[in-house]
Amino acid sequence: MTRMHRKYICILLVVLGQQFQLDVLDAAERTKHVLAIGIDGLRTDALDAANTPNIDALKKNGSFSNQCKILGSRYQKNDTISGPGWTSYLTGVWADKHGVHDNEFGGRRINRYPHMFNLLKQQYPDYRTASFIDWFPIDKYIVSKADVRVGFEAHGSDGYTVFDKDIADRAVKVLAEQDVRATMVYFGATDENGHRFGFHPSVPQYMKAIETVDQHVGRLMKAIASRSDYEREDWLVVISSDHGGEGKGHGSGHDVPTIHNIYLIVSGDSAVKGKFKNQVYLVDLVATALTHLDVAIKPEWQLDGKPVGLLPRQQ
């Protein structure tokens, strides 16, 4: 190698190093945003078998597990149904703390262990949040501090199919046009079809419901990408569920893997890529979302979860 060649290589390395530093700086300066997507009654092997290109793309661009647990090792006395599941999803603590053991929400302690929007607002009161829900008890009993709050009570045999689309329509508009830092979007048609026809990859109605939700997810992602400041934003998308299913139900599923194992997906530029190497839990979602949003997690919150799937600069 000649002296001239060595000189050119050194110049190239310096330029590349400077560009790398600029890229890191740009990433650090981008504003942080979170989209949490909840898909009720999503059985893991059904998602694996379904035609879901949008969710597949999110998995590819992040960390994921199909063995995320809806019950912790410390406490497992709540039923494996929506009330305790979604409360754990949104508060980051198990049922012995939040007090929700069934779908009646009796004994709830949401004031003590609040929705993650409440925790976000404690440190960043000006951050705007949005919630889109069509299983009304979530909106009624759990949601707090949402600046945009859409809650429906679906009725009829196809109620959730209809309202899921309405939920997606409204969420798309807000995500595309408004300055929201944390957004929660819930879809219920998967669980509705599981109860009516069966929670299994062999059930066409159940699989169609999953694939329809995937189309909604694709619309949400397009809305985010259309934002005027998108290039200056760092979006983390987290997807999970409250439980899986077996037969036409999911109650008392403590020892049934197809019920107590769910998906957790943590996706975006700030996410590690590939399968989670360690066990992850439903309550990890809140700690992960808050950490991405640069919220300092306080010991007095007593969160049971931990941040997972984020690049080392955030953990």
What residues have CB less than 8 Å from 236, skipping those under 6 apart?
Answer: 32, 33, 34, 35, 266, 267, 268, 270, 271, 288, 289, 292, 310
Q: Taking the mean position of all CA atoms in its chain, how far away is CA 276? A: 15
In sequence order, which residues have a C-beta less than 8 Å from that of residue 127 and are 6 or more positions away? 120, 121, 181, 182, 293
Distance of CA 11 to the CA centre of its chain: 44
Query: How many other CB atoms are found less than 10 A from the CB of residue 280?
Result: 24
pLDDT at residue 56 tops 60: yes
Per-residue pLDDT, 260 = 98
pLDDT interval class at 10 (50, 70, 90): very low
pLDDT at residue 67 greater than cutoff 60: yes
Q: Is residue 32 over pLDDT 70?
A: yes
Q: What is the CATH number of domain 32-301?
A: 3.40.720.10
- Do the Cβ atoms of 243 and 225 come closer than 8 Å? no
178 versus 3: which is more confidently predicted?
178
Which pLDDT tens digit goes with each residue over 149-171?
999 887 666 789 999 999 999 99
Residue 233 pLDDT exceeds 70: yes
Q: What b/e string do you get for 227-237 counting C-beta neighbours within 10 Å, with b at 16 or more?
A: beeeeeebbbb
Does the pTM surpass 0.95? The reply is: no
Question: Looking at per-residue confidence, does 58 or 153 come out higher?
Answer: 58
Kindly tell me if the per-residue pLDDT of 64 is higher than 50.
yes
Burial class (CB in 10 A: 0-12, 13-18, 19+), 275: exposed
**What is the average pLDDT across 188-195?**
97
- What's the pLDDT score for residue 156? 62
Q: Token pair for residue 72?
A: 């912790």
Mean pLDDT for 210-230 is 98
Instruction: Please say if the pLDDT value at position 266 is more than 90.
Output: yes
Helix axes 159-177 and 204-225, enclosed angle (nearest 10): 10
